[in-house]
Amino acid sequence: MDTIKVRRAGPGRPRTRPDHVLADKGYSSRKIRAYLRKRGIGHTIPERRDQRANRSRRGRGGGRPCAFDRQLYKKRNVVERCFNRLKQFRAIATRYDKTRESYQAAVTIASLFLWLKPL
């Protein structure tokens, strides 16, 4: 999360704090949620079944359930479909490139192909 940089449309240094994070159950941990809350980043992360069970087992000491917006979480599907389309390129899926720069260039080229395909 510390390495995220989003370019601004105009002049100015890039943003390093997103407005909101959508993640799957793999990112559902106390540490990640506390980090996002500390930085003031909104998040929509579903709670894992074992976390729910542990929280309910502890009773009132377990805390309240995490807020979860189903309608907002449905937008995560767009990102997953994008990754799926990128992984159709074999060089991206198996990562043939040795350096980070060349792999990033391959992802950029594949993204351009996907973007230009409808035209």
Q: What tens digit of pLDDT does each residue of 27-72 get?
A: 888 888 888 889 888 888 888 887 778 777 777 766 666 777 888 8
Q: What is the pLDDT of residue 116?
A: 92
Closest CA to 43 of 26, 67, 15: 67
What percentage of the chain has pLDDT greater than the value 70? 95
Closest CA to 44 of 14, 63, 7, 18: 18
* CA atoms within 13 Å, Cβ hemisphere of 58: 11
Distance between CA atoms of 56 and 43, rounded to whole angstroms? 22
Closest CA to 44 of 16, 17, 15, 75: 75
- Tell me the per-residue pLDDT of 18-30, one tens digit each, with 9 for 90 and over: 888 888 888 888 8
